[in-house]
Amino acid sequence: MRSAALAFFLTLGAPAHAAAEPHVVVATWDDAITPVTSEYLNEAMTRAVRDSADAFVVVLDTPGGLLDTTRDIVARFLDSEIPVLVWVGPAGARAASAGTFLTLAAHVAAMAPGTNIGAASPITMGGGGADSTLAHKMQNDAAAFIRTVAERRGRNVAWAERTVREATSSTEKEALEAHAIDLIAGSVEELLDQASGRTVQTKRGAVTLELHGARLDRYELNLRTKILALLANPNVAYLLLMLGFYGVFFELSNPGSVLPGIVGAIFLILAFYSMQQLPLNAAGLLMVMVGLILFILEIKVTSHGLLTIGGIIATVLGAVMLFDSPEPALRVSLRFVIPFTLFTALLFATGIGLAVRTMRQRPTTGREGMLGWRGRARTLLDPEGTVEVRGELWRARANESIEEGAPVEVTGAEGLVLRVRRPGVERGA
């Protein structure tokens, strides 16, 4: 009787176990590969391992990124305790440069229709001009790295090396035919269905994927990561740098304003943090500073626009040089730099110039504002007497005798006593 009851309960439990819903953690990255990417994917993978997920899926769309960061992410993929699936998608997405390494490092690599992968050559910093030996070393290093990744995952090593040495790029169909990827899938759900039944080797051993109808747990970017990702944008870093300089300059020009100094200091700190996440070129930073100095000098020195032109050239060149990266996504865009630089030139040439000229104008109020005013002597000044200036009577003192009714000009004030002279007479005469 007991055996029959035990068999009954075991029979009930078996289907429940077999029908257990697979659990998959999904992370999405559609920007350049930066240290923020590594932090985000590391957090997502940690959560997947902690929750005993059946797989970790990365939805990838990237123009490339930093090689050091790519190495960190690839190392985590290769040493993963759970299966890692990379899906290049949706349609129109790409896994260029650094993205190629990440895709090849996955246990299962897939692409959506209408996507491409490749072009993983390490271009010399700034787009050229580096020593040929150094460039050759960089290429050999990247080629060896991608060969290692391809060999580890059993992918086409020759194809992978060509993406580095020849900068070749392939569509999803070409990549599948070359055995660079495993699947073509139109969605994450389709990827999981096609991947089911495959056996992959993880850190814990061989795992057979059973991912049909898996529950997708999407790991979203939190507010902190979104802010850090925004700060890792080179255009944002450049904007923060310029606004920070503006704030500090306005504060130094108008001591006591407080607000421009506070805002400028905050922007500069954020800019320095942003540049820490990016491949900063010190020469580019110095060039930008030279450009700003030239704009400031234009206010104080008559150069007939030459300093402004020099400032524009220096600022644009500095922005182009600011970040040493072959990836366009990790450089400041000229479409952003040129309008912003012209705005800066216009700001310094007009707004600040008008402010300086206003400060240089003669005061119109107070004692200083009375200098040059003219009136008439109401009594004999010998040397003191009374004068009328703009309808008001004042005690006045002159260096010479001035008869009653004679015109006078104010040259200064001592307390409530004006110093006057005859109009047209040089001061001190």
Please give the positions annotated as active site. 97, 137
Q: What's the one-letter identity of residue 14?
A: A
Dig out the tokens for 210 from the structure.
């059973």
Orientation of helix 223-231 relative to helix 259-276, angle to 10°: 90
Q: What's the one-letter identity of residue 169?
A: S
Please state, in angstroms and rounded to a whole number, the distance separating the CA atoms of residues 253 and 246.
Answer: 10
Please state, in angstroms and rounded to a whole number, the distance separating the CA atoms of residues 411 and 398.
Answer: 10
Orientation of helix 234-253 relative to helix 334-346, angle to 10°: 10
Which residues, in sequence order, are CB contacts of 126 under 8 Å at separation 6+? 281, 321, 324
Please state, in angstroms and rounded to a whole number, the distance separating the CA atoms of residues 42 and 31.
Answer: 16
Locus of tokens 């080179």: 234
Torsion of CA 264, 269, 271, 273, to 10 degrees: -170
CA 118 to chain centre: 25
Dig out the tokens for 164 from the structure.
């580095």
Residue 53 near residue 25, CB atoms below 8 Å: yes
